[in-house]
Homo-oligomer: A and B are copies of this chain.
């Protein structure tokens, strides 16, 4: 508690951001006040604009500036016939950064979790089914997280997709590049052996 009510409100407000606790919030507040007032006001403006304007692409449910997103609007990518199904918009960005996928995406915004009230409707599976039966998709790649919930969600979608004679695939699991084999967990290592591939 300082003697300045606005300052206390500012420090409290900044703590809604993940990873920002009371100490960082105080440091940020003083930095903005001490020598970054103009930048701080601009940031507030941009946060407001972004949160008001960013919506979900009606085609893939990824974040878009309004209407169909740039990836869905790209004819080349749409005609590839490849659809990658991911849990979050952050996953799309991660795969885009990897730079080897040139199809379109579908973002679930979560995974099936009946206890939290997250069912097929919350994940937009109706819209996904429309896309799968449209005939535009030749192969659907399941790229949900390698967790129990992610795998369960993938299994549910695979069961749904089976009706439409599509090729279904799943991103490869195995040892990540870098590091040592002995630091990889047992489950990953077991998978990397059962799913071994011919050495070329």
Using a CB–CB cutoff of 8 Å, the interface residues on chain A facing chain B are: 2-7, 9-10, 13-14, 16-20, 24, 26-34, 36-37, 39-54, 62-65, 69-71, 88-90, 92-93, 96, 109
Q: Which residues of B contact A27 (CB under 8 A)?
A: 18-19
Q: Are B89 and A33 in contact (CB under 8 A)?
A: yes
Q: Are B13 and A19 in contact (CB under 8 A)?
A: no
Nearest B residue (CB) for A47: B44
Q: Are B54 and A6 in contact (CB under 8 A)?
A: yes
Instruction: Report the bound CA distance from A29 to B93 in whole Å.
Output: 13
Instruction: Report the bound CA distance from A70 to B8 in whole Å.
Output: 13
Instruction: Report the bound CA distance from A96 to B50 in whole Å.
Output: 38
Q: Which residues of B contact A92 (CB under 8 A)?
A: 2
A13 in contact with B51 given A3-B70, A69-B3 (CB within 8 Å): no
Distance (whole angstroms) from the CB of A36 to the closest CB of chain B: 6
Q: Which residues of B contact A47 (CB under 8 A)?
A: 10, 13-14, 32, 40-41, 43-44, 47
